[in-house]
Amino acid sequence: MALLEVKDLTIRFGGLVAVDDLSFTMEEGQITSLIGPNGAGKTTVINLLTGFYTPNEGKVILDGEDITGFSTDQVVSKGLSRTFQNIRLFSNMSVEDNILIGMQHRIEYGSFLSLFPNPKKNEWERKAREEATAILERVDLSDYRYEKSTSLPYGKQRKLEIGRALVAKPKILLLDEPAAGMNPVEKKELSLFIRSLLNDVRGILLIEHDMKLVMDISDKIVVLNHGAKICEGVPEEVQNNPEVIEAYLGRKGVHHDVTGE
């Protein structure tokens, strides 16, 4: 059984069909990438999966459970966690607090018990901080624990965002253009890091512009154009698919732009 199954997903904004009858699957322990030219509808797919938008048609099945039309908080607790294209950290909170927000849905005391000290709250706070310590270690940010999140350098902010998503203990991690704004050295480091994340989660859905990165680390690639899937397969298949080349270049021919060399 596939870890995530997307079936005939469609959403329309007014007259515009932003995602058109999209189907694909994600397998356990793999990195699946969603690529496509600007405006192909990639981020819209993430917004559909995470409950920011409700699809007009179609289904999203996560680990055998239908989560179509679930609200964002339900989706998070079912095991989908995301990062954002343009980093969205909680700018006036510390690095640690950002991490703690990531795990808030697993902290089992409610608003009333928040108001005064009590055993349940104390116990959970202790546990939460322990987990935060572990995650900060994992994303290599232990030294920055009490710093303001926006005071971190760019690359570390990315990692913090990933840490914040990881601490939610998701089944699937959705990374929306994690390499945006990075130089080649940083990208190299990032691709190793993303690969290593498969130890923490059961699957990764990657949306990325950088072809080299995508071709390097993906197990499977889904190509979108104008909201519809034009190709799906392992990197080699996708690279040689004429339709993909056309979508990227507008005409047949030049090959190396797609391969990223």
Partner 1 sequence: MKKYLNSKNIIFLVIIVFMALAPLVTDPYQLRVLISCELNMIFAMSLNLLMGIGGTVSFGHAAFYGIGAYTTACLWYHLGWNYSTNFLFVILITGLAGLLLALPMSRITGRYVTVITLSFAEIVNLIIKNWDKVTLGQMGIVGIPNIDLFGFRFHSKTQFFYFTLIFVILTYILMNWLVDSKLGRNLQAMRDDSIAAEAMGIRLFPNKVIVFTISAIIAGIAGSLYAHLMTYVEPSTFNANLSFSCISIVVVGGLGNFAGTLIGSLFLTILPEYLRRFDFLFKYRMIAYGLVLVIVMWLNHSIPGLKLKQAFQALFGKILHRNRTEEEV
Partner 2 sequence: MLLQILVNGISLGSIYALTAIGYSLIYSILQLINMSNAAVFLTSAVIFYALYTSLTGSSVLLTFILTLMAAGAIGYVIEVIAIRPIREKGDSNTYALISSIGVKTILEQICQGTFGSEIKQFPTLLDGKYIDLFGARTSAIQIIIILTTLFILGFMSWFTQNNRVGRGLRALSQNLNACHLMGMPVNTLIGVSFAVGSMLAAVSGVAYCMYLKSISISVGSAIGNKAFAATVLGGIGELKGAVVGGYILAIAESFVSGYYSMAASNFISFGILILVLIIRPTGIFGKKEQKKV
Q: Is 151 in the site for partner 1 (CB under 8 A)?
A: no
Interaction between residue 52 and partner 2 (CB under 8 A)? yes
Copy the structure tokens of residue 134: 């572990």
Considering only 31, 32, 40, 47, the residue that binds partner 2 (CB under 8 A) is 47
Q: Which does 43 bind (CB under 5 to 8 A by kind): partner 1, partner 2, none?
A: partner 2
| CB burial string 148-177: b at 16+ within 10 A, e below | bbeebeeebbbbbbbbbbbbbbbbbbbbbb
CB of 242 to partner 1, least distance (A): 37
Instruction: Figure out which of the listed residues 10, 23, 43, 259 binds partner 2, where binding follows CB under 8 A.
Output: 43
- In the bound state with partner 1, the residue whose beta carbon lies nearer, of 82 and 138, is 82
CB of 111 to partner 1, least distance (A): 5
d(CA 46, CA 173): 11
- How many other C-beta atoms can be found within 10 angstroms of the C-beta atom of residue 20? 18
Q: Which does 90 bind (CB under 5 to 8 A by kind): partner 1, partner 2, none?
A: partner 1
As measured in angstroms, the least distance from the Cβ of 18 to partner 2 is 12
Strand-strand pairing, 30-35 and 16-26? unpaired
Question: Which residue is it, tokens 């005409």?
Answer: 251
Alpha-carbon gap, residue 20 to 176, rounded angstroms: 20
Q: Which residues pair with 221 in a beta bridge?
A: 33, 233
Which amino acid, one-letter code, is at 103? M
Instruction: Establish if 91 lies at the interface with partner 1 (CB under 8 A).
Output: yes
Contact with partner 1 (CB under 8 A) among 100, 141, 160, 215: 100
Q: Given the rule CB under 8 A, which residues bind partner 2? A: 43, 47, 52, 84
